Amino acid sequence: MRAKKPIIGTIVGVLDGALDGVQAQLIRITNIGYTVKLLESKDAFRKGDTVHLSVAEFHIHKGETPWR
């Protein structure tokens, strides 16, 4: 069985810009937004942390398609 290619995006406008520009991997799509895993560390946030974001706060890279 083939593994699904991870969907990567960029975080913008969350927590007053504390995570702006951080790359993250989409883990789950919910009715209220996304759950992502951080691929980079920034300030108090560490690589591997899980963060819940609204649709407006996570921009999926062009060409990537989220599953439903």
For the stretch 17-28, pLDDT in tens is 788 999 999 999
Residue 67 domain flag: no
Position 53 in a domain: yes
Is 17 domain-assigned? Answer: yes
**What separation, in Å, do the N-terminal and C-terminal C-alpha atoms of the chain show?**
19
Tokens of 48: 């591997």
Tens-digit pLDDT profile for residues 6-47: 899 999 987 777 889 999 999 999 898 999 999 999 888 999
The reported pLDDT for the residue numbered 23 is 95
Indicate if the pLDDT at residue 52 is higher than 60. Answer: yes
CB atoms < 10 A from the CB of 15, how many?
14
Does residue 37 belong to any structural domain of this protein?
Answer: yes
Among candidate residues 58, 59, 38, 33, the one with its CA nearest the CA of residue 48? 38
Separation of alpha carbons 38 and 28, rounded Å: 13
Q: In which domain, by residue range, is 32 found?
A: 8-60
Q: What is the pLDDT confidence band of residue 65, given thresholds at 50, 70 and 90? A: low
Quick check: is 55 in a domain? yes
Inside any domain, residue 50: yes
